[in-house]
A and B are shown apart, each in its own frame.
Chain A
Amino acid sequence: MMSGGPAVRVSIESQCERQVQEVSLDGLETYVPPLSMSQNLAKLAQRIDFDQSSDSEQDGPERESREPWSKPEPEEDEGAVKFQPSLWPWDSVRNNLRGALTEMCVLHDVLSVLKEKKYMALDPVSQDPSVTKTPQVFQLISKKKSLATAAQLLLKGAEKLNKSLAENQEQRRQRDFNSELLRLRSQWKLRKVSIQKQSPDIGDLGTVSLFRRQPKAKPASQTWHVKLEAAQNVLLCKEIFAQLSREAVQIKSQIPHIVVKNQIISQPFPGLQLSISLCHSTGEKRSQRASPEKSKPDDHLYVLEHNLHQLIREFHKQTLSSVVMPHPASAPFGHKRLRLAGPMAYDKAEISSLQQSEGLLEKIIKQAKHIFLRSRTARTIDTLASRIEDPQIQAHWSNINDVYESSVKVLITSQGYEQICKSIQLQLNIGVEQIRVVHRDGRVITLSHQEQELQDFLLSQMSQHQVHAVQQLAKVMGWHVLSFSNHVGLGPIESIGNASAITVTSPNGEYTISVRNGPESGCKVLVQFPRSQAKELPKSDVLQDARWTHLRGPYKEVHWSRMEGRNFVYKMELLMAALTPCP
Chain B
Amino acid sequence: MEAPPVTVMPVTGGTINMMEYLLQGSVLDQSMESLLHRLRGLCDNMEPESFADHELVYLLKGQQGNPFMLRARRSLLHPTAPWHLRYLGQPEVGDKSRHALVRNCVDVAASHSLPEFLNEMGFRMDHEFVAKGQVFRKGAMKVVVSKLLRVLATGNTENTEPLSLSYLVELSVLAPAGQDNVSEDMRSFAEQLKPLVHLEKIDPKRLM
Contacts and interface: CB of A to CB of B under 8 A. Distances in A.
A340 interface: yes
A496 B108 CA distance: 63
B53 to A, nearest CB: 4
Interface stretch (B2-10, B34-42, B69-77, B187-195): B69-77
Contacts of B131: 329
Contacts of B86: 330
A301 interface: no
Interface string A482-509: 0000000000000000000000000000
A342 interface: yes
Given A328-B74, A332-B107, A343 B49 contact: no
Interface in B143-196: 144, 146, 174
B120 interface: no
A522 B48 CA distance: 73
Interface residues of A, number: 19
Contacts of A329: 51, 53, 73, 75, 131, 133, 135, 144, 146
Contacts of A344: 111
B136 to A, nearest CB: 9
Interface in B90-130: 107-111
Contact size range, B: 20 to 34
Nearest to A317: B46
A330 to B, nearest CB: 5
A322 B49 contact: yes
Contacts of A336: 81
A330 B137 CA distance: 12
B84 interface: yes
Contacts of A341: 109
Nearest to B88: A330
B205 to A, nearest CB: 20
A246 to B, nearest CB: 16
B206 interface: no
Contacts of B15: none
B84 A342 contact: no
Contact of A330 (B73, B78, B82): B73
B61 interface: no
B64 interface: no
B51 A331 contact: no
A221 to B, nearest CB: 29
A347 to B, nearest CB: 16
Contact of B111 (A322, A326, A328, A343): A343
B108 A342 contact: yes
B33 interface: no
B77 A327 contact: yes
B198 interface: no
A330 B88 CA distance: 12
A328 B81 contact: yes
Contacts of A325: 46, 49, 135, 137
Nearest to A339: B109
B46 A326 contact: no
Contact of A328 (B46, B53, B108, B174): B53
A320 interface: yes
Given A327-B75, A328-B51, A329-B135, A342 B44 contact: no
B75 A328 contact: yes
B84 A330 contact: yes
Given A328-B74, A329-B146, A330-B71, A342 B82 contact: yes
Chain A interface, DSSP helix/strand/loop, else mixed: loop
Contact of A320 (B44, B78, B82, B146): B44
B63 interface: no
A324 to B, nearest CB: 8
B133 to A, nearest CB: 8
Nearest to A342: B109
A306 B107 CA distance: 40
Interface in A293-324: 320-322
Contact of B109 (A322, A331, A333): A331
A341 B131 CA distance: 25
Contacts of B135: 325-326, 329
B142 interface: yes
B30 interface: no
Nearest to B174: A332
Contacts of A339: 81-82, 109
Contacts of A327: 51, 53, 75, 77-78, 81
A326 B110 CA distance: 14
A271 B98 CA distance: 55
B45 to A, nearest CB: 7
Contacts of A320: 44-46
B81 A322 contact: no
A326 B86 CA distance: 14
Contacts of B47: 322
Nearest to B73: A328
Contacts of A330: 53, 55, 71, 73, 84, 86, 107, 144
A322 B82 CA distance: 16
A22 B88 CA distance: 90
Given A320-B45, A322-B49, A329-B144, A340 B137 contact: no
A343 B109 CA distance: 6
Nearest to B139: A319
Q: Which of B44, B78, B81 has the most CB of A within 10 A?
A: B81
A157 to B, nearest CB: 27
A542 B185 CA distance: 113
Nearest to B81: A327
Contacts of B46: 320-322, 325
A321 B47 CA distance: 9
Contacts of B53: 327-330
Nearest to B76: A328
B137 A331 contact: no
Interface in A332-366: 332-333, 336, 339-344
B82 A343 contact: yes
Contacts of B142: 326, 333
B146 A342 contact: no
Nearest to B44: A320
Contacts of B73: 328-331
B85 to A, nearest CB: 10
Nearest to A345: B111
A344 B81 CA distance: 11
B84 A331 contact: yes
Contact of A340 (B77, B82, B174): B82
Q: Which 6 A-B pairs have the closest CB atoms?
A: A343-B111, A327-B75, A328-B53, A342-B109, A328-B73, A331-B84
10 contacts: A325-B46, A326-B142, A328-B73, A328-B75, A328-B83, A329-B51, A329-B73, A329-B75, A332-B107, A343-B111
Given A320-B45, A322-B49, A328-B74, 10 more contacts: A325-B137, A327-B81, A329-B75, A329-B131, A330-B53, A330-B73, A333-B137, A339-B81, A340-B109, A341-B109
